Amino acid sequence: MNYTIEEIYCLVGKEDKTAGLTFKYKSEAFEKYGSFITVVFIYTQHEREEMDNLIQIEPFSKDGRVKAKYLGTDLTPEKVELLLTEGIYSGDIAEILYFNAPSKNTFHSKEKRELNKIEIPMRTQPKGRDLDWMYGFSKKLISEDVGLCPKERSFYLAGKLYYEPEILTKEEREEIFNDEIIDEQVEWELLQMKYIREEISDEDKKRLAELYGKKKRESIAILDNYLKQAGSSLKKLSTDNIDQAAELFMKVMQFKERRLNVMGKNPIYIDLDSYLHIYMRHVEEFQVNKHFEHKDNFQWNENDVFNVIGHVVEYIDKEYQQFKDEKPSQRFSKYGKQSIYFEGDYYTFHIEPNGRISTFHKNRKEHEKPL
C-alpha cells in the first residue's frame, strides 16, 4: 500500500509535525537519502489550500511529490536543497513515524498568536558608561564586515569622533564632515553621548535642543502623512480621539530605527517610514478608522510584530546576502508562491536596494476572504 499526498498532509503536513520517513528498499528516495530521514513537509499557501480541498474527497487517491525541510545533519547540502526543490515521491515512503501531539499549527485559526519570549532584565551604568561597550561592539561589527543600518553607522562615527578622533580614517572624516560642517545625524548621536555622560556644554545643549526640535517636526510630518493616507490627519485625530493621537505621537517619538539581521555585510532594517507604513495598515491597535479594513491585520499583539519580522528576515538572510552580491541595485521581494511561512501565516515583503523594508504583510487565506 502506498501513501497518498492527501494522507501525508492529514498525518503530518497539515499541522507541521516532525516526520520520520522510512523509504522502500531500492526506491528513488532510498537511493538518494538512505533508508530513513527526519523532515517537516512544506507547502506554499496555494498548495496548502489545495490540500485542504483535496482531503474533503475520500477515498484518498493522489500520488506525487511533496517538498520537505531536512532536520538531520548527515545529508549533503545538495541533497538538502533537492528535498526543498524536488521533494519526495509519496510512493517511495514505506512508513511515516510521528508524535501524535495536540495541534500547534495556526494556519486555520483566526485568533491572535503568541510568541514564546525570554526577557532578560538589564541594568544601566551611571554617567553613560554603557556607551563604552556599545561603541566597542560597533567597532567589532565593523571589523567583522557586518553591515550597519544608517542609525548604527551614525552612532559608530559619533563614537569614534568621541573616543578615538585621532585615528579617524580619511574616508570616515569625509563621511562625517562636509566643508568642516558635521553631518546632522552624526552630530545628533555625538551630542546625546555628551549629554548622557554629563560632559555637555551649555552651547551644545542648545544645539541638541535644536536637533531634537527638528527631529520632532520631521517625525510629526511623517505621522501626519500616513494619517492622511488613512483618510485622517493629526489635527482631525486630535479632535476625534485625543488619546489615540497622543499614543501614536509617543510611539513615533520613541521609535528607533533598527537592523533585523544579526550578521551579513548587507543590513536589513526598518526606519520610521517602514514602521508607520506597516503598522498603520496591518496592526489593529494603529488603525484610526476603517480606511484600511480591506487589509489583513497581523494575528499578533503589537509588541510581537517586530519579533515576527525578525524571524522571517532570519529565514531569508542567507539568500538575501547572495542576492545583494549579484544584484546590488535591485529590490529583493518575496510574494506569491515565494511568500515566507512562519507560525501559521505566509508573508509578503519587499526590501529596497538600501536594505530598508518597505512592505511587510501577511497574505489573506481563502477561508478568510469574505463570502
pLDDT value at position 368? 64
CA neighbor of 251 nearest in space, from 212, 303, 202, 195: 303
* Chain segment 151-198, per-residue pLDDT in tens: 999 999 999 999 999 999 999 999 999 988 999 999 999 999 999 999
Between 97 and 112, the more confident residue is 97
pLDDT value at position 123? 80
* Strand pairing class (65-66; 88-89): antiparallel
Rounded distance between C-alpha atoms, residue 135 and residue 190, angstroms:
12
pLDDT for 106 beyond 90: no
pLDDT for 137 beyond 80: yes
pLDDT for 294 beyond 60: no
Instruction: Tell me the pLDDT band of 298, cut-offs 50, 70 and 90.
Output: confident
pLDDT value at position 151? 96
pTM of this prediction? 0.81
Beta bridge partners of 178: 181
Q: What percent of the chain has pLDDT over 90?
A: 73
Rounded distance between C-alpha atoms, residue 329 and residue 248, angstroms:
34
pLDDT value at position 107? 58
Instruction: Tell me the pLDDT band of 300, cut-offs 50, 70 and 90.
Output: confident
User: CA angle, 151 as apex, 256 and 342 as ends, to 5°?
Assistant: 60
Mean pLDDT of the region 302-326:
92
Instruction: Tell me the pLDDT band of 105, cut-offs 50, 70 and 90.
Output: low
Q: How many CB atoms lie within 10 A of CB 9?
A: 22
Q: What percent of the chain has pLDDT over 70?
A: 92
Alpha helices in 117-196 (DSSP H): 130-143, 150-163, 170-176, 184-196
* Chain segment 236-253, per-residue pLDDT in tens: 989 988 998 898 999 999
pLDDT value at position 104? 62
Q: Is 297 helix (H, G, I), strand (E, B) or coil?
A: coil
> 350 near 358, Cβ under 8 Å?
yes
Rounded distance between C-alpha atoms, residue 18 and residue 13, angstroms:
9
- Give all strands (DSSP E) within 220-321, no chain letters: 258-259, 269-270
CA neighbor of 35 nearest in space, from 90, 83, 95: 95
pLDDT value at position 221? 95
List b or e across 59-84, with b for residues whose CB sees 16 or more CB atoms inside 10 angstroms: ebeebeebbbebeeeebeeeebebbe
Instruction: Tell me the pLDDT band of 128, cut-offs 50, 70 and 90.
Output: confident
